[in-house]
Amino acid sequence: EKPLALSWKDCQAIEAAVKKTKVKSCVCFECRYSSQFLATKAVIDRGLLGKLHYGEVDYYHGIGPWYGQFRWNTRKDAGGSALLTAGCHALDALLLCLGGEVAEVTSYDTKSRSKIFAPYEYTTTSVAMLKFKNGALGKCAAVVDCLQPYYFHTHLVGSEGSLLDNKFHSMKLGGLNKNKWSELSMKMLDSGDVSDHPYLTQFQAFFDALEAGKEMPLTSLLDGLRSHEVIFAADKSAETGKPVKL
């Protein structure tokens, strides 16, 4: 389950244990198996957006007293940070879309003045800016102290077009009106409820991989570790006020 751990040292211990025991693994970054991101990745892979040079995926989900996890999620030693507790889904999705290796991360954090979120022992809003080795830029906001509907904001910009949530425009498709978006008929990530997330699709892929003796596609431990390395770099940047190179 995400997060793998609340420290990079513990993540490395998990990696060592998995290598030693030679077991197969799957990390619950299940959003990669959502209708939204399966369709989004298909648009990218088919070249409809061209080469991506900018992307932003943001997580807006107010985790207040109305959620059962609030009673423990407010603790630093349990929730960790805005990214670790939930925003990691958005950062992981950003890495899925942009691909490539991250060279540097700069992050800032803050928190709501609402009394509703006062029990939190850590900053509950952060924004991370990523510089990739291939020159692309990315941004991920993790906001768990907002008072609004759940929103998994996605905006990707490439050399042949752009995608905004479930809408896109592509120069690859002749005849499209450049002043209007075209719409993708996909189910959006619009709820933080566990029952609404695509675990069934992900677990079926894991069972299929186990039967075939292969590594889990999209959400293997290695995939999860790559995302966690960036998460911890972002939190370190926010804490120190300095960019962190990877």
Per-residue pLDDT of 36-59, as tens digits, reads 999 999 999 999 999 999 999 999
Q: In the prediction, which pLDDT does 197 show?
A: 84
Give dist(CA 175, CA 190) in Å, integer.
Answer: 31
Give yes or no for residue 193 having a pLDDT over 90.
no
pLDDT score at 87: 98
Note the pLDDT of residue 39. Answer: 98
pLDDT at 118: 98
Tokens of 168: 């896109």
Q: How far is CA 75 from the centre of its chain?
A: 22
The amino acid at residue 17 is A
Of 62, 57, 33, nearest in space to 153 by CA? 57
Cα separation, 238 vs 246, in Å, equals: 15
CB of 187 within 8 A of CB of 29?
Answer: no
User: Would the pLDDT of 195 be above 90?
Assistant: no
d(CA 168, CA 101): 25
Band of pLDDT at residue 239, cut at 50, 70 and 90: very high
What type of residue sits at position 163? L
Q: According to the model, what pLDDT value does residue 45 have?
A: 98
Contact by Cβ (8 Å): 143, 125:
yes
Mean pLDDT of the chain: 97
Question: Pick from 124, 127, 61: which is nearest to 91 by CA?
Answer: 127
Q: Residue 49's pLDDT is what?
A: 99
- Number of residues that this document lists for the chain: 246
Position 141 scores a pLDDT of: 99
User: Each residue of 153-169: pLDDT tens digit?
Assistant: 999 999 999 999 999 99
**Which pLDDT tens digit goes with each residue over 132-153?**
999 999 999 999 999 999 999 9
pLDDT at 70: 97
The model carries a pTM of 0.96
Hey, what are 203's tokens? 């677990």
- 142 in helix, strand or coil? strand
Whole-angstrom Cα distance, residue 71 to residue 18?
31
Q: Is residue 192 over pLDDT 90?
A: no
Please report which confidence band the pLDDT of residue 103 belongs to, taking 50, 70 and 90 as the band edges: very high
CA quadruple 83, 85, 86, 88: dihedral, nearest 10: 40
- In the prediction, which pLDDT does 85 show? 98
List domains and CATH numbers for the chain.
29-198+227-245 (3.30.360.10)
Tokens of 202: 């992900």
Residue-level pLDDT at 191:
87
Alpha carbon distance 142, 178 (integer Å) = 31
| CB-CB contact of 152 with 190 (8 Å) | yes
Question: How many angstroms separate the CA atoms of 119 and 110, rounded?
Answer: 14
Across the range 187-191, mean pLDDT stands at 92
